[in-house]
Amino acid sequence: MPAGTEVLLRTQTGSLAASTGTLTVEEAGFGLSTNGDQVFAYVGSEPTAGDESGFIAALQVNGFGWQSDATSSNESALPSVFTNGENAVSVFEADNVWYDCSTTSGSITAVRQAINDRSNWDFSSSSSKLNSGCDITLPELTLSLISGINSGGTFPVGVTTNTWMATDPSGNTDECTFTITVKEDCDPLPAGMSNFDVGNTGNVVGQVCYDATTKTYEIKTSGSGIGGNNDGFHFVPITSSSLTMDIIARVVKHPTNTYQDMIGVMIRGMGGSNAANVSTLISGDNKTVMTTRAVTGHFAVGTNGPVLPGPLWPGPTYWVRLQRIGFSFTASVSPDGITWTTIATKSAFIAGAYQVGLCATARTPGQIVHYTVDNVTINGTAYRLGEDGLEPMAVTAFPNPTRGGLNVSIDITEPTHVRLALQNALGQQLIIEEFDVEYAGLMEHRIEMGDLSAGVYLLEVSVGDKQRTLKIVKD
């Protein structure tokens, strides 16, 4: 058998790499040379010239020590991971050699030294001289937790890093570090909605947990901020191409007092961290702001809105809103979702398909902030969206609040029948308008509310078998 031949050992049942029991040679005609053999053992993947880490033992049987190089099929050099006398041994040249079992217990170091000591090996050219081998008993290791959570403990939602140390009776130590990831028991996001990180989040993967019962979004994220030349945040959007858009959300929990820890709503063009976008945000220091990157690649400009009474957590909740009509965007905030204060109206070039949804960031990449948001509606559709099993229906009513005329915009996907019904807080229907739409596309219709008194009304929009209800405020 030439040098370099690999011999696979199996149990009698065929299992590879058995550690106990009777071994049978897989190859037929097992014909090693009668003397001068060298045997190497490894675990895992077969070692290569570039990776010898799998080798665990080496035995040389030629009586003259290890060869310095392997220049023919009858030579074997000692791999660089071995040191003779420490983890490799060169013994006498004979037909048969065996460890004399003089040391069969003790520390790992002591047993290894004994096995790799040439003087502890016997030899013979007669097979009848072979011994039956011996069992080696090694001491148990002591395990201690260096950092993390101990065995049997409760791991929190998120990523926990554990480091353990193993110590043998001789004081030799080694450490092992691993991570445990626990995910929350979350419901699937509403139909059409996704979530992902945008830009620099400091190697922290943002998460969103949606509760379909309470319609609540728990967002855990990091980031470098929203603004400047590039953004870093977590985004929970849907995709739209409508030139009329209205997204509303209530911020239930904002746990920090840092001005760049921000949560809100955003309309964003397709692209990377410097894509054109507009957002309405609440920061940790009780401030509101509208950020606008009018063109992809440009510097984002912030427009400050009202300062909210604080602290935000624990404390009152606030609503954020972002409306789009063509390329004009209006940001607003509200304490109750009814009375809105406009921050500003800005223009941005966001054409074609774009994304609209929740956005959250932190001041420092790698720092994790946990926000809670609910009452999310997009174009009058509770997101909450798709929970009735129907495709989302995009509906916008503006201006809202209104002093008279109300423009209703609906994305029509196919020719259909439309019914608009406006009712007061008592459920009395005051205006009913019905008509057929013979085309697919954006439909706009105006309802005159000038004769109605100030207050809160409900607009029920029915398009085919889909129905949505919008809250309308008359000043």
For position 254, what pLDDT does the model report?
81
Nearest CA to 464 out of 427, 408, 413, 422 is that of 413
Task: Indicate whether 316 and 367 sit together in one domain.
Answer: yes
Task: Indicate whether 214 and 357 sit together in one domain.
Answer: yes
Mode of pairing for the β-strands spanning 38-42 and 121-124:
unpaired
Phi-psi region of 386 (alpha: psi -120 to 50; beta: other; left: phi over 0): left
Tokens of 193: 């909605």
Q: Report helix, strand or coil for 261.
A: coil
Does residue 14 lie within any of the structural domains? no
Q: Enumerate residues 6+ apart whose C-beta is below 8 A from 301.
A: 291, 292, 293, 294, 346
For position 197, what pLDDT does the model report?
92
Task: Indicate whether 350 and 440 sit together in one domain.
Answer: no
For position 311, what pLDDT does the model report?
64
Does residue 168 lie within any of the structural domains? yes
Do 168 and 332 contact (CB within 8 A), yes or no?
no
Task: Indicate whether 288 and 146 sit together in one domain.
Answer: no
Do 453 and 441 contact (CB within 8 A), yes or no?
no
What end-to-end distance do the CA atoms of the chain give, in Å?
Answer: 97
Q: What is the CA radius of gyration of the chain?
A: 36
Tokens of 39: 């045997």
Residue 434 pLDDT grade (very low, low, confident, very high; cuts 50, 70, 90): very high
Does residue 95 lie within any of the structural domains? yes
Burial class (CB in 10 A: 0-12, 13-18, 19+), 89: buried
Does residue 303 lie within any of the structural domains? yes
Average pLDDT, the chain: 82
Query: What is the number of alpha carbons within 13 Å of residue 458 lying toward its C-beta?
Result: 12
Rounded to whole angstroms, the Cα distance separating 402 from 94 reads 103
Instruction: State how many domains the chain has.
Output: 4
For position 390, what pLDDT does the model report?
35
Q: Report helix, strand or coil for 447.
A: strand
Nearest CA to 316 out of 250, 259, 272, 398 is that of 250
Percent over 70 (pLDDT), the chain: 85
Does residue 300 lie within any of the structural domains? yes
Give whichever of 67-71, 109-113, 215-219, 274-278 has the largest mean pLDDT.
274-278
Instruction: Report, as an integer, the average pLDDT of 179-202.
Output: 85
Chain segment 364-389, per-residue pLDDT in tens: 766 788 899 998 988 866 553 333 33
Task: Indicate whether 232 and 306 sit together in one domain.
Answer: yes
Does residue 240 lie within any of the structural domains? yes
Task: Indicate whether 423 and 290 sit together in one domain.
Answer: no
Tell me which amino acid residue 89 is: V
State the residue range of the domain holding 64: 32-129
For position 24, what pLDDT does the model report?
47
- The secondary element (H helix, E strand) that includes residue 110 is helix 108-115
Residue 330 belongs to a domain with what CATH number? Answer: 2.60.120.200
Task: Indicate whether 69 and 149 sit together in one domain.
Answer: no
Instruction: Report, as an integer, the average pLDDT of 451-455.
Output: 91
Rounded to whole angstroms, the Cα distance separating 50 from 70 reads 16
Residue 213 pLDDT grade (very low, low, confident, very high; cuts 50, 70, 90): confident
For position 389, what pLDDT does the model report?
33
Mode of pairing for the β-strands spanning 429-437 and 416-423:
antiparallel
For position 353, what pLDDT does the model report?
92
Rounded to whole angstroms, the Cα distance separating 23 from 149 reads 42
307 - beta bridge partners? 287
Q: Where does a domain end: 382, 406, 430?
A: 382
Do 261 and 363 contact (CB within 8 A), yes or no?
yes
283: pLDDT strictly greater than 70:
yes
**Omega of the bond leading into 399 within 30 degrees of 0 (cis):** yes
Task: Indicate whether 222 and 345 sit together in one domain.
Answer: yes
Rounded to whole angstroms, the Cα distance separating 285 from 51 reads 55
Rounded to whole angstroms, the Cα distance separating 193 from 141 reads 50
CA-to-CA dists, residue 333 to 282, 290, 304, 367, 471, angstroms: 9, 10, 11, 27, 16
Does residue 370 lie within any of the structural domains? yes
Tokens of 79: 């791999």
Task: Indicate whether 401 and 365 sit together in one domain.
Answer: no
Nearest CA to 379 out of 314, 442, 464 is that of 442
For position 124, what pLDDT does the model report?
81
pTM: 0.50
Dmax of the chain from CA atoms?
116
Does residue 47 lie within any of the structural domains? yes
Task: Indicate whether 174 and 204 sit together in one domain.
Answer: no
Instruction: Report, as an integer, the average pLDDT of 331-349.
Output: 92
Task: Indicate whether 122 and 158 sit together in one domain.
Answer: no
Task: Indicate whether 293 and 418 sit together in one domain.
Answer: no
- In order, the DSSP letters of 23-61 are EEESSSS----SS--EEEEE-SSPP-SS--TTEEEEEEE
